[in-house]
Amino acid sequence: MFEFKKTTLHQKRRILVRVWVAGLFAFLCFTCLVARLWYLQVHRYEGLAARADENRIAVVPVPPRRGEILDRNGEVLARNYRDYTLEVTPAHVKDMSAMLDKLSQLVEITPYERRRFLQQVGQNGRYTRILLRNKLNESEAAWFSSNAYQFPGVELRARWVREYPHGQTAAHVLGYVGRLSEADMNRLDEAGQLGNYRGTPVIGKKGIEKTWEEVLHGKTGIEEVEVTATGRPVRTLSRIDPVPGSDLVLSLDIGLQKVAEAQFEGRRGALVAIDPNTGEVLAFVSAPSFDPNLFIDGIDVESWRELNESPDHPLVNRPLHGTYPIGSTYKPFVALAALELGKRAAHERIADPGFFELGGQRFRNAGSVAYGMTDMHKAIVVSSDTYFYSLGVDIGVDALHDFSKQFGFGQVTGIDLDGERRGVLPSTTWKRSAYRKPEQQRWYAGESVSVAVGQGYNSFTLLQLAQATAVLAQGGAYMKPHLVRQVVDPSTGQSRPTVTEPSHVIDLKPQNLEVIRNALVGVVQQGTARRAFQGAEYQAAGKTGTAQVFSLRGAKYEAGKVDERLRDHALFMAYAPAERPEIALALIVENGGWGSSVAAPVARKVFDYWLTERNVQESQ
């Protein structure tokens, strides 16, 4: 009996110890739990709350509407429209081929679109959103939306899409937008602007789209959206609206642009027309052209090959990138230099036997025509090479360089387009820097002979020739050439002009200007351009030119026996009306031959539209 009680007491003690141990363990666990809760709820509250919000709230960039581009009359040249696209994040797709096959049952995906998408997948990072299909219609967008849960990593997005409604017209002015590249993002990052391009798939690549990108793009907005654990949006919590880009009003007249471009149908060449009073570019032609709409979502291989490998080089912006000897169109400026520098009087006459002899070498007139005794007026009207050969020696290359530089020859004009070339306005200093061998660095008198007639080392852009013509028409006032006439604020609708004052004014004697202007009128009335302007309702002033493409080494030039691409260039510079100029232009028809028969008629069409037909259309 005693042993039984002793055993029971021992068991009770063992149970009591176990209870205390279990209780102590439970107390310690509870204490740890409370400590952990305190740590999470109090000490780590701010950080964890922020992380929870990040999982719950998605910050979505809202891309702005890109500013539109209009011509001077309000005609839209570049606009935007809403579009649905399918974009894929490769990192969220387990089997790309299976996903594409399944998606093709809901939305049409062409073999080209599939091939282009897979190519982009290989060229980009796994977390980069890649365009699979664009221009979805409402039915396709609705079908995908109702089945989107089956396609993780595929997202339906609405976006603004750029469109150029006039196609190839003024393509080299407008340029185009294209997908953001890694180089673009690096450049934006260096400039501190990458954050403003979150959610924006495109950027200006060429033309006005590129040079005015910052103004056209606008400011990206932000939208905070509550999402589920699977990433589905539930509701919008807050929103900062994007600021749309500013609209640009160009100085171009799309009607004049189309008339000018039509004159280059089937030809290669360039034309720039400027209002000499303001510096506004009225027409800017580079022929042949291209369709900028091809580049918006990435140009296909065949189209790119066709443009890039064409012998006519349609992607080259000829007025900016092409440099040419400008032939006899340079003579009015050489004559003005002689007058201003006191090298020759306008009434002074020299004998023109059809050639100029220097150092035992004869430099001949075109066709070896002899004009007899010739003064400055006659020399410009009949385009006497002999007169200007001698003038080149009298003036000297350095003095001619310094004078011509004021008109913009061999200088970057600063027009609001990218990639402008400087060209070559020769001088003794230029030649010493251009050549390495001492015997090549020396300037010879015979080289001044060629330079004075717009040949030799002279190599100018058509924009420079057009600008120089506008400055001459304006009496020496250099208005910076520009394409953007006004920038229109999207919020207020207010506009501001871009150029209002001359960059500089060349100090020219009025009597010398009068000599040159009268001679240019004479070219149109009884000189080399008389046939082209016969019967015009206005009085134009201009100068024809023919520029040699390659040296015949003394042989007689016969266009029919020379390869078409080695034939002479046809040029023309002019302004009208002569008494009060409203438009000045320069143009070149590559390998066109004579400026009088090929280039001058193009100018006549442009002047007719601007000075007569346009007024009739506006009145109607």
Positions annotated as catalytic residues are: 328
- Helix (H) or strand (E) holding 143, with range, is helix 138-146
Q: For residue 291, how many other CB atoms are within 10 A of its CB?
A: 17
- 3 burial (CB, 10 Å; 0-12 / 13-18 / 19+) is exposed
Residue 165 near residue 77 (C-beta atoms within 8 A): yes
Sign of CA dihedral 566, 568, 569, 570: negative
Residue 416's nearest CA partner among 583, 214, 575 is: 214
Instruction: Extract the tokens encoding 465.
Output: 């020739």
Mapped to the 3 state alphabet, what secondary structure does 516-573 carry? HHHHHHHHHHCCCCCCCCCCCCCCCEEEEEEECCCCCCCCCCCHHHCCHHHCCEEEEE
Interhelix angle for 331-340 vs 397-405, to 10°? 100
Instruction: Extract the tokens encoding 122.
Output: 């290989």
State residue 402 phi and psi, 5-degree precision.
-65, -35
Instruction: Extract the tokens encoding 335.
Output: 């004559």
Q: For residue 532, how many other CB atoms are within 10 A of its CB?
A: 25
d(CA 208, CA 245): 14
Residue 68 near residue 162 (C-beta atoms within 8 A): no
Instruction: Extract the tokens encoding 595.
Output: 């400026």
Residue type, position 60, single letter:
V
d(CA 44, CA 40): 5
- 304 burial (CB, 10 Å; 0-12 / 13-18 / 19+) is middle
